[in-house]
Amino acid sequence: MTGVARNRVLDWIKTNLFSSPFNIVLTFLLLFVATKLLWNFLDWAVLRAVWGGDAETCRHGAGGACWAYVRDKARYVLFGHYPYEQQWRPQLFVAIFFLLSLLTQFKRFWSKYLTAAWVVLPLGAAGLMWGGFFGLTHVEMEEWGGLPLTLALAFLGISASYPIGIVLALARRSEMPVIRALSVIYIEVIRGVPLISMLFMAAVMFPLFLPEGITISKVVRAQVAIIMFASAYMAEVVRGGLQSLAKGQYEAADAIGLSYTKKMVFVVLPQALKAVIAPTVNTFIGLFKDTSLVFIISLSDLMFTTQASLQDADWLGFTVEGYIFAAFVYFVFCYFISFSSSRLEKELKV
Amino acid sequence: MQQELKKAAVAKGDVARQPNQLSDEIAVKISGLHKWFAGFHALQGISLSVRKGETVVVCGPSGSGKSTLIRCINRLEVHDKGRITVGGTLLSNDIRAIERVRADVGMVFQQFNLFPHLNVLSNLTLGPIWVKKTPRAKAEQTALANLKRVRIEEQAYKYPSQLSGGQQQRVAIARSLCMNPSLLLFDEPTSALDPEMIKEVLEVMTELSHEGITMIVVTHEMNFANMVADRVIFMDEGQIIEENTPEEFFANPQHERSKLFLSQIL
């Protein structure tokens, strides 16, 4: 730090933190509280923590966090009941998503191959998890769980609700009253209902309406409920983008004779969607975390496996550590989405 | 006043107006046109024919319905009563017919309305490629030729936001030209421009008029009207008040309201 810069910092501290007796007292008080809280947390999470061993080691430890628990349970929390020695398959599944999202952040990789990869690779990875070929054992879907399930629910949720949301937003601005009304009713009804109640309906009520002999797996029903839910929110985000566009853009597109579809594809949507990247990502992150609600209809997503791991009779009483780990995993993914979006905004020069 | 304008033109070295070679073919025929905006009677029985090759200037005070009139011709506004026939096609709710007319009628807006997410070349080729199904290479060739026509070919790969207002408006004119239109509509093309940029746009428009492109121009540029128009139409309160050659209109306006308008604007 140069002398000038140091002076500036000192000046800032003086004028903002120590300008009056009251401010001096307040500064020290807050400093004390913050330090104390941080210290207590570090003391618990690091200094007195137990890093290895089993539950007994933790119970006889210094009363800090029991990371041994996370060490023992992480594989179960992340990959559920998937056969332990076969877990390289879900690991590959997660790695493929990570790799694809990473590549997508760079405009120079954007091509039809990348789009194709986004379709083919996740499908291939899912096929790999399913198994039954090349000597791979078949693993029932009921045994899939943890992170791959959360990722799949979120990925399919995002990639389906985005286009559906766009269609709903366009419908809501349609000149045809029936189309407009249908869209408004859909959006308002869905937005007026909590996701949990929709998941319950999908899990419990929906099968009652199916003809006898036909069953749809619970994962699929939950996935559809999530997509329906997220689409309504997405629609309102896209509508905001459509409204931000000057009327002249629509008129110029009309004036050169573009049909409705071409006008939307080439003129309106590229601008409207770009304008709402930030709220779009906001919705995506919300959707990612909302998938955790499926644990309530006993789908074994990350939240479900976290809770299940807490029921282990050998490891009772380490709830906080379990939830901190789950929160950490969710945070990593949400932060990654958020980081990707700010990169995307830079690439597109918003 | 007419003398002054002529003198000014001679001093600037402009060529005296040569009446365009007009065919008898009708480009646009409007009869008994009415338009209401929520109770406001914007157009009150307009009848007008424009022949091929003709340059018609529509002037009048603001709110007189000039813009509404030309926006009805490519159906950016839907008229409530009367008939509009463009190049033999009667405008109705038939969306195919509307798209056909729009592909054949270019429009230049006051606010340029270029597509900001596309570069200049893509702005120009969008219509030809997706409406007229022109192959991309051919469309780009035409686009570059038209950029040259409006003297701005060096800006082909820039984005609209990197151009001045006058340049943007010339790009907008080139965009219309790329569709090879049989009629060009200008909706106050210089009203949003700084004075020093008005000239470059008017020069391009003058050339187009001399090339025999059919044009309907809503403008307050009376010098342009006097020099370039074959016919001047004066509108007020949704009606055509006076329709005359520019010579007659500026030297000897027939109607009180025309006189008042000219005295205010000149």
Give tens-digit pLDDT for B34-80: 999 998 999 999 999 999 999 999 999 988 999 999 999 999 999 99
pLDDT of A111 over the 70 cut: yes
pLDDT value at residue A135: 77
pLDDT of A200 over the 80 cut: yes
Q: How far apart are CA A231 and CA A186, in angstroms?
A: 10
B186 touches chain A (CB under 8 A): no
* Percent of chain B whose predicted confidence (pLDDT) is above 70: 91
Q: What CATH number belongs to A74-82+139-348?
A: 1.10.3720.10
Q: Which residues of chain A neighbour B99 with C-beta distances below 8 Å? A: 257, 259
A255 touches chain B (CB under 8 A): yes
B144 touches chain A (CB under 8 A): no
pLDDT value at residue A350: 58
Nearest-10 crossing angle of helices A277-290, A147-172: 140
User: Which range among A7-11, A124-128, B238-242 has the greatest average pLDDT?
Assistant: B238-242
Which of A259, A262, A267 minimises the CB distance to B115? A267
| A251:B131 CB<8 A | no
| A267:B111 CB<8 A | no
Q: Which of A150-164, A305-319, B55-69, B126-140 comes out lowest in average pLDDT?
A: A305-319
Under a CB-based contact definition with an 8 Å cutoff, are residues B255 and B234 in contact? yes
Best to test chain A binding among B93, B110, B111, B184 (most A CBs inside 10 Å):
B111
With helix as H, strand as E and coil as C, how does chain B read?
CHHHHHHHHHHHCCCCCCCCCCCCCEEEEEEEEEEEECCEEEEEEEEEEEECCCEEEEECCCCCCHHHHHHHHCCCCCCCEEEEEECCEECCCCHHHHHHHHHHEEEECCCCCCCCCCCHHHHHHHHHHHCCCCCHHHHHHHHHHHHHHCCCHHHCCCCHHHCCHHHHHHHHHHHHHCCCCCEEEEECCCCCCCHHHHHHHHHHHHHHHHCCCCEEEECCCHHHHHHHCCEEEEEECCEEEEEECHHHHHHCCCCHHHHHHHHHHC
Q: B239 to chain A nearest CA, in Å?
A: 25
Q: Which residues of chain A neighbour B175 with C-beta distances below 8 Å? A: 256
Indicate the average pLDDT of chain A: 88
Which of B76, B111, B130 minimises the CB distance to A255? B76
Which of A249, A257, A274 minimises the CB distance to B127? A257
Q: Which residues of chain B neighbour A248 with C-beta distances below 8 Å? A: 109, 111, 113
A176 touches chain B (CB under 8 A): no
pLDDT tens digits for range B107-118: 999 999 999 999
B125 touches chain A (CB under 8 A): no
Best to test chain B binding among A244, A249, A256, A263 (most B CBs inside 10 Å):
A256
A348 touches chain B (CB under 8 A): no
Which of B113, B131, B175 minimises the CB distance to A258? B131
pLDDT value at residue A107: 82
Under a CB-based contact definition with an 8 Å cutoff, are residues B206 and B198 in contact? no
pLDDT value at residue B20: 60
Six token digits for residue A296 = 């309530």
Question: Hey, what amino acid is at A158?
Answer: I
Chain B residue with CA closest to A275: the answer is: B117
pLDDT tens digits for range B170-193: 999 999 999 999 999 999 999 999
Q: How many CB atoms lie within 10 A of CB A260?
A: 15
pLDDT value at residue B193: 92
Model confidence band, residue A70 (pLDDT cutoffs 50, 70, 90): confident
Model confidence band, residue B21 (pLDDT cutoffs 50, 70, 90): low
pLDDT value at residue B243: 94
Q: A257 to chain B nearest CA, in Å?
A: 5
A252 touches chain B (CB under 8 A): yes
Interface subset of A 9-38, CB within 8 angstroms of B: none
Under a CB-based contact definition with an 8 Å cutoff, are residues B124 and B143 in contact? yes
pLDDT value at residue A332: 92
pLDDT value at residue B4: 46
A261 touches chain B (CB under 8 A): no
pLDDT value at residue A313: 81
Q: How many CB atoms lie within 10 A of CB B200?
A: 18
A99 touches chain B (CB under 8 A): no
Q: Which of A137-141, A232-236, B119-123, B134-138 comes out lowest in average pLDDT?
A: A137-141
Q: How many CB atoms lie within 10 A of CB A336?
A: 15
Q: Which residues of chain B neighbour A251 with C-beta distances below 8 Å? A: 76, 109, 113
Best to test chain A binding among B70, B73, B76, B180 (most A CBs inside 10 Å):
B76
pLDDT of A209 over the 90 cut: no
Q: How far apart are CA B138 and CA B129, in angstroms?
A: 9
Question: Hey, what amino acid is at B1?
Answer: M
B130 touches chain A (CB under 8 A): yes
Q: Which residues of chain B neighbour A274 with C-beta distances below 8 Å? A: 117
Hey, where are the domains in chain A? 74-82+139-348
ipTM: 0.88
A188 touches chain B (CB under 8 A): no
Counting every residue written for chain A, the total comes to 350
B161 touches chain A (CB under 8 A): no
Q: How many CB atoms lie within 10 A of CB B91?
A: 20
pLDDT value at residue B9: 44
Model confidence band, residue B13 (pLDDT cutoffs 50, 70, 90): very low
pLDDT of B1 over the 60 cut: no
pLDDT value at residue B230: 94
Model confidence band, residue A2 (pLDDT cutoffs 50, 70, 90): low
| Mean pLDDT, residues B204-224 | 94
pLDDT of B6 over the 70 cut: no
pLDDT of A309 over the 90 cut: no
* Percent of chain A whose predicted confidence (pLDDT) is above 70: 99
